Amino acid sequence: MPITPARLAYAADGTPYSEIFDDVYHSSDGGLGQAHHVFLAGNELPQRWAGRERFVVLETGFGLGLNFLATWDAWRRDAQRCARLHYVSFELHPFTVDDLARLHARWPEFAALASELRAAWPPQTPGAHRLHLDEGRVTLTLWFGDARDGLAQLDVHADALYLDGFSPARNPDLWSARVFHLLARRSAAGATLATWSVAGEVREGLRRAGFEIGKAPGFGGKRQMLRGRRSGAAEIDASPAPSAQVRHALVIGAGLAGSAVAERLAARGWRVDVVDAAATAGQGASGNHAGVLRPLPSLDDNRMGRLTRAGTLYGWRHIARLQAQGLAVRAERCGVLHLARDATQLAKMQAVVERLAQPASHLRFVDVAQASALAGWPLPQGGWWFGDSGWVQPPSLCAANLAAHPALIRTHFGRRVARLQRADEGWTAIDDHGVAIARAPVTILAAGSLIRGFPEAAALPVVSARGQVALLPATEGSAPRVVVCRGGYVSPAVDGLRCAGASFDVDDDDPELRTADHAANLARLEAILPGYTASLPDHGMQGRVGFRPASPDRLPMVGAVPVPAPVADAMPLADIPRQPGLYAVSGYGARGLVWSALLAEMLAARLHGDPSPLEQELADAVDPARYLLRPAARIRAEN
């Protein structure tokens, strides 16, 4: 469902106002006062987060972001604050970043926080957007779309609920019985709630959903408000972070998948041992000179489309965070052109853009003249223009991931893991000589196609796909100045070389460059940029071969490794037996750049007990155990 942005308007007294819902965004007596009195004090904050490892706030309407800014500010000012603050909020009609800037100017005391929020503000695309703020200590998960969908899909255990939608009379869907029951499902034991609404149907609906409700003095001209608590349990953290002893992981593989998981765990204070047979990071399938980081839209916004969009947006934010730390990630958001094969596909691509109606800065349709102007080369077709996408040098990203937390990530390069050994204290990686390399309670298999050599992962139908890419001499600034895709891809000049490719041959283990594959890559390049190959100097055959771990349904495999045994077709994914403490991050195929950061965050959040950055439907779609429920042939047919 396309996102319709909020339109900035004001009531007669200057209070921000929604024309869509014919209601104000906050009390005319003052938005900040309402935030402090109703939502913070109404949930006994900051007292309740004191000394906690983590505290989770869930809000039903993000609006101007004022409640979030007030909560973030109160957290920063509190010497007894929890170590990490998670804030999950839903917004059907988000403001543009420019309108937020106008609104935030009303509260200069929040200028620095509001500026940081706006700098991370995502494009108005549907689904979950995870933003890391305040050096990663504050995590904001924004759901753009219907709150009912988000509440049904996001795995959250909230400690405090802010019920702050427009009035029940103006927006009844957000105060429905379904929403109240979903809020109860997303509440931790002992969770509190607060809202300015005291409507009878709100009180009764919350009681029926399992909340103990009472009235309290309201804010400003409103005589009363509601406070509540989830019934039937003492106040405890329903999803406690693992103990310091457990917060230790062994990651096998230092490519995009493994390095990203190591970084996301270390960001949460985990100690991580990373083992790789190569001498440095990113030397396997992640070793190409330049790869593409962009989404793959679809007319029905299917799982692939949503996963690649979410992965692309989070991936670029992840790179920006690493670069802000001074780490040398080679990447450029120069834009990506995806050209149609023919007129029929061109019409379909235009229909996708019209149906999804996403911000033009993220996705727009361009005709052949516009595409040629963007590339600086006469092109055969128009197609999609991803203005906020571009190229990344994968080895530099892998190295930056591993360097981001030097006190917590220990690398073991030049060590091949021959086998794993399970004991009470966890898993031990054993080398070819029977010597233990490292051990930890949690082990993550991120070894690319080599995962097939571990018997514990026998249930995963990972295939190895040989990919050969051509490296061509190129002058900096020469055309194309953007990434161009059409049955292959070609990058801009990166350090004097241009990448073009790539082949994708399943179960082909030849590590040597092949003349036929090089010629095929040049043919792909010629189809993308007609006449380009004639201008190439005699450069011989330069290139690179890598082996990508692929899956039958083209979706990743990320999660707990299932025990390789038959299961009943109707068995829920969550009930399938798993290898204790063993996880897989595999099946990325040619999209390691797209998925590595987001799915590392998903797995790290799961291991640490944090709210998920991804809706449950997509988390289930990448669960490695799905193959035990659906034969591979049937999975291929479904996609």
Query: Are the C-beta atoms of 229 and 192 separated by less than 8 Å?
Result: yes
Q: How confident is the model at residue 193 (pLDDT cuts 50, 70, 90)?
A: very high
Per-residue pLDDT, 637: 44
pLDDT of residue 564: 87
pLDDT computed for residue 240 by the predictor:
67
pLDDT of 6 strictly over 90: yes
On whether the CB atoms of residues 364 and 353 are closer than 8 A, the answer is yes
Looking at per-residue pLDDT, the higher value among 244 and 408 belongs to 408
**pLDDT at residue 569 above 80?**
no
Residue 578 burial (CB < 10 Å; 0-12/13-18/19+)? middle
* DSSP conformation class of 307: H
Mean pLDDT of 463-481: 94
| pLDDT exceeds 90 at position 635 | no
pLDDT the model gives residue 632: 42
Whole-angstrom Cα distance, residue 252 to residue 59? 38
On the question of pLDDT at 638 being above 70, the answer is: no
Would you say 485 and 528 are in contact if contact means Cβ atoms under 8 Å apart?
A: yes
- Residues 46-54: what's their mean pLDDT? 96
pLDDT value for 237: 45
Confidence band (pLDDT; 50, 70, 90) for 465?
very high
Nearest to 431 by CA among 444, 458, 412, 447: 412
CB contact burial 281-305 (16+ within 10 A = b; e otherwise): bbbbbbbbbbbbbbbbbbeebebbb
Which is it for strands 442-445 and 578-586: parallel, antiparallel or unpaired?
parallel
Average pLDDT over residues 339-356: 97
The rounded Cα 80 to chain-centroid distance in angstroms is: 30
- Neighbouring C-beta atoms of residue 146, cutoff 10 Å: 15
Predicted local distance difference test score (pLDDT) of residue 239 = 59
Mean pLDDT of 323-349: 97
User: Is 109 buried (19+), middle (13-18) or exposed (0-12) by CB count in 10 A?
Assistant: exposed
What pLDDT does 111 receive? 98
- pLDDT class of 236 with cuts at 50, 70, 90: very low
Domains and CATH numbers, the chain: 9-230 (3.40.50.150), 248-284+396-462+556-638 (3.50.50.60), 291-301+314-392+463-550 (3.30.9.10)
Label the pairing between strands 84-91 and 138-144.
parallel
**Residue 497: is its pLDDT beyond 50?**
yes
Can you give the pLDDT at residue 233?
Answer: 53
Q: Which amino acid is at 604?
A: A
pLDDT per residue as tens digits for the range 263-290: 999 999 999 999 999 999 999 989 999 9
Q: What per-residue confidence (pLDDT) applies to 566?
A: 84
The residues near 46 (Cβ < 8 Å, ≥ 6 apart) are 40, 74, 75, 78, 80, 81
Task: List 193's β-bridge partners, or say none.
Answer: 161, 228
β-bridge pairing 463-473 and 497-501:
antiparallel
pLDDT of residue 28: 86
* Residue 576: pLDDT over 60: yes
pLDDT in tens, 404-442: 999 999 999 999 999 999 998 899 999 999 999 999 999
Please write the tens of the pLDDT for every residue from 72-114: 999 999 999 999 999 999 999 999 999 999 999 999 999 999 9
Helix/strand/coil for 127: strand
**What CA–CA distance (Å, rounded) separates 559 from 444?**
9
Q: How far apart are CA 187 and CA 157, in angstroms?
A: 5
The CA-atom distances, in angstroms, between 453 and each of 365, 423, 439, 458 are 44, 20, 19, 8
Q: What's the average model confidence in pLDDT over 634-638?
A: 46
**Average pLDDT for the chain:** 94
For position 214, what pLDDT does the model report? 96
In which band, very low, low, confident or very high, does the pLDDT at 238 lie, cut at 50, 70 and 90? low
What does pTM read for this prediction?
Answer: 0.96
